[in-house]
């Protein structure tokens, strides 16, 4: 038997608890993994609290990330004893996920654990950090270089935002961090932010264009925050948009696109092709200091993940949260 967080459907919605599970109940898949660490992402918090329609079938083990060791494999590529990681692919949404001591998954979902990181550090990075890297790569692909001007990062106190700051600073960009929490200024500077501003710096106005300020942007907020960003990009600026912490709506005009030639690039980490994931993790290994990951991580248990989830949605958690499944 092994322990996992299990989300059951109830009349009122859903309910999460830690349960003991028979390995015979694991879903289909060629590979059984002993999960050593997982992490708590925004999406996991939505699933655990039932505040967002993340879980597609019940009962569900949440957890979009996992790191561990292969126990058994019917896949020629992966062998027992291999250290592996997985992010997304429907884990914790439609297939039992990583907030568990054991998982059964498809071989094509697994990547070898990058040599430069421990299993704990891989989950310190997790989907949030790998998405931050995809965002940075999108800016690079859009031609944004460190000499072009300031890059703004929203949700700086969270997981994606914090790792995006660290990556961009390491690559030589001047980063402006946007946070709703004044108390995080010192932490954000430690990560590499040259300037820390409050959310009011991206205040929404219905004006189609605002002063041109940013050459690049990484946005986790969506909604009016993303609309304000679009209106305040410099000509040719590129935005990598990955989140909806401020909302799903996007009250925009076409003016920034046709008068300033900006690019709005959407980022999807869940179904991102394998080659792109490998490239992102290789870049994380090259461009992210493991010690910095340690400094932005808190460690919790499976049981604590359930009580931490509402805190994360309330914006009270700083940086990243790894879950030690033991």
Build a one-symbol-per-residue string for 39-78: x at contacts with ligand NDP by CB under 6 A, - elsewhere. Answer: --xxx-----------------------------------
Distance CA 202, CA 228 (A): 6
Q: Is 179 in the site for ligand NDP (CB under 6 A)?
A: yes
Q: Tell me which stretch binds ligand NDP (CB under 6 A): 1-9, 73-81, 126-134, 252-260.
A: 126-134
Cα torsion 291, 140, 161, 181: sign: positive
Question: Among 38, 110, 98, 100, which residue's Cα sits nearest to residue 74?
Answer: 110
Q: Tell me which stretch binds ligand NDP (CB under 6 A): 72-80, 137-145, 148-156, 284-292.
A: 148-156
Tell me 91's DSSP state: B
Which one among 14, 38, 154, 232 touches ligand NDP, defined by CB under 6 A? Answer: 154
236 phi and psi, to 5 degrees? 80, 5
From residue 90, how far is each of 42, 44, 60 by CA, in Å? 15, 12, 11
Q: Is 114 in the site for ligand NDP (CB under 6 A)?
A: no
Q: Is 199 in the site for ligand NDP (CB under 6 A)?
A: yes
SS3 annotation, 233-302: EEEEEEEEECCCCCECCCCCCCHHHHHHCCEEEECCCCCCCHHHHHHHHHHHHHHCCHHHHHHCEEEECH
Distance CA 269, CA 287 (A): 19
Q: Shortest Cβ contact with ligand NDP: which residue?
A: 158
Q: Tell me which stretch binds ligand NDP (CB under 6 A): 97-105, 144-152, 155-163, 277-285.
A: 155-163
Q: Which residues inside 16-35 make contact with ligand NDP, applying CB under 6 A? A: none
Closer of 194 and 270 to ligand NDP (Cβ): 270
> Which residues bind to ligand NDP, rule: CB under 6 A?
41-43, 127-128, 131, 154-161, 179-181, 199, 220-221, 225, 242-246, 267-270, 312, 315
């Amino acid at each position: 038997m092994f322990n996992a967080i299990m989300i059951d459907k109830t009349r009122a919605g859903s309910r999460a608890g830690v349960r003991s599970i028979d390995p015979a109940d694991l879903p289909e898949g060629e590979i059984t993994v002993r999960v050593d660490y997982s992490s708590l992402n925004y999406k996991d918090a939505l699933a655990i609290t039932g505040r967002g329609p993340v879980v597609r079938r019940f009962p569900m083990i949440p957890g979009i990330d996992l790191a561990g060791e292969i126990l058994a494999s019917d896949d020629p590529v992966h062998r027992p004893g291999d250290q592996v990681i997985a992010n997304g692919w429907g884990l914790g949404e439609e297939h039992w996920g990583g907030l568990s001591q054991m998982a059964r998954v498809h071989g094509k979902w697994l990547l070898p654990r990058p040599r430069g990181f421990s299993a704990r550090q891989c989950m310190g990075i997790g989907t949030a950090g790998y998405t931050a890297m995809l965002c940075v790569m999108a800016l690079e692909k859009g031609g944004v270089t460190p000499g072009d001007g300031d890059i703004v990062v929203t949700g700086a106190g969270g997981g994606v935002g914090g790792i995006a700051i660290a990556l961009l600073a390491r690559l030589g960009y001047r980063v402006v961090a946007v946070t709703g929490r004044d108390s995080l200024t010192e932490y954000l500077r430690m990560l590499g932010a040259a300037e820390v501003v409050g959310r009011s710096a991206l205040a929404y106005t219905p004006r189609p264009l605002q002063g041109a300020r940013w050459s690049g942007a990484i946005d986790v907020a969506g909604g009016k925050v993303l609309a304000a960003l679009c209106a305040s990009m410099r000509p040719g600026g590129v935005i990598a948009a990955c989140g909806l912490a401020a909302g799903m709506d996007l009250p925009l005009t076409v003016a920034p696109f046709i008068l300033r030639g900006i690019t709005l690039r959407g980022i999807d980490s869940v179904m991102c092709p394998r080659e792109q994931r490998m490239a992102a993790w290789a870049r994380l290994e090259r461009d992210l200091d493991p010690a910095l990951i340690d400094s932005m991580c808190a460690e919790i248990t499976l049981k604590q993940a359930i009580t931490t989830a509402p805190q994360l949605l309330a914006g009270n958690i700083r940086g990243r949260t790894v879950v030690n499944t033991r």
